[in-house]
């Protein structure tokens, strides 16, 4: 299985960032770790092996990025506005640094954002903010209202990174058409405390005519063995 390690100094984050590319071709998957996770988390947890044939045959390629959660939403000592701003810098890093590298390595235009637990928030938010670049969102066991991390504070940056807030207010016809073309899949256990967030997000999307598939799994289903099964079921292969 092809594997590349990359590290460079990010001008947008002002620090070194690392990532892994797993697979040689196919649809690109921008993979987010769980809360405060590292770029190698999915590899450590056997997630590429769950898609072994699709990766080996060149149908899928993973781009596994690092998080800055400990400097943004989980940075409890920082002002909530600063947490949101750090996340915005992370979004800029992904869009302006990671995506160009992934396109340089693989010109396949089909891009998925994928994540589990807090990584599902990243997958959903990045996909909905950048419908010009993202073709599919796979969000597993996720939270989609970021306000639980903002201590009651609210500003424009928080709003622009909170899907349950900005989607209802999206009225731009062009952006709505792009959003409606994204294949959005949410999978959460019916016994997971986050199922309400998934149901809320699904309803908000449908209210704007944005189709999505909400898949409720039996029980809690909030762990790596379940996410491996979800990934095999929903990632699929694309030429």
The torsion of the CA quartet 56, 60, 66, 67, rounded to 10 degrees, works out to -140
Helices (H) and strands (E) in the chain, counts: 11, 8
Q: Residue 128 maps to which CATH number?
A: 3.40.50.1820
| Per-residue model confidence as pLDDT tens digits over 207-232 | 999 999 999 999 999 999 999 999 99
Instruction: Centre a 10 Å sphere on the Cβ of residue 82 and count the other Cβ atoms it contains.
Output: 14
| Per-residue model confidence as pLDDT tens digits over 52-94 | 999 999 999 999 999 999 999 999 999 999 999 999 999 999 9
Instruction: Give me the percent of the chain exceeding a pLDDT of 90.
Output: 98
**pLDDT at site 91:** 98
Cα 58 to Cα 49: distance, rounded to the nearest angstrom: 14
Smallest CA-to-CA distance from 131 within 152, 153, 154, 112 is with: 112
pTM of the model: 0.97
| Per-residue model confidence as pLDDT tens digits over 142-181 | 999 999 999 999 999 999 999 999 999 999 999 999 999 9
Range of the domain at 9: 3-235
How many structural domains does the chain have? Answer: 1
Average pLDDT, the chain: 97
Tokens 């769950």 correspond to 50
β strands within the chain, DSSP E: 3-10, 15-22, 27-32, 60-65, 111-116, 136-140, 183-189, 213-217
**pLDDT at site 238:** 42
Interhelix angle 80-93/118-129, nearest 10 degrees:
60
Does the structure show a pLDDT above 50 at 16? Answer: yes
Does the structure show a pLDDT above 80 at 239? Answer: no
């Amino acid at each position: 299985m092809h594997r590349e390690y990359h590290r460079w100094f990010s001008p947008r984050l002002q620090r070194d960032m690392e990532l892994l590319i797993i697979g040689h071709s196919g649809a690109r998957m921008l993979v987010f770790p769980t809360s405060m996770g590292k770029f190698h988390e999915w590899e450590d947890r056997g997630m590429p092996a769950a898609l072994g044939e699709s990766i080996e045959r060149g149908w899928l390629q993973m781009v596994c990025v690092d998080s800055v959660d400990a400097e943004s939403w989980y940075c409890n000592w920082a002002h909530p506005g600063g947490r949101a701003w750090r996340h915005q810098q992370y979004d800029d890093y992904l869009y302006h640094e990671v995506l160009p590298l992934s396109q340089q390595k693989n010109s396949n235009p089909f891009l998925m954002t994928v994540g589990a637990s807090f990584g599902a928030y990243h997958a959903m938010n990045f996909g909905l903010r950048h419908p010009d670049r993202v073709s599919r969102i796979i969000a597993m066991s996720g939270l989609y209202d970021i306000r639980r991390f903002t201590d009651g504070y609210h500003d424009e940056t928080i709003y622009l990174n909170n899907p349950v807030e900005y989607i209802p207010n999206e009225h731009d016809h062009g952006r709505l058409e792009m959003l409606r073309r994204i294949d959005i899949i949410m999978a959460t256990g019916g016994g997971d405390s986050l199922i309400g967030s998934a149901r809320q997000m699904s309803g908000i999307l449908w209210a704007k005519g944005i189709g999505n598939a909400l898949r409720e799994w039996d029980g809690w289903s909030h762990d790596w063995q379940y996410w491996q099964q979800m990934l095999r079921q929903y990632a699929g292969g694309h030429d």
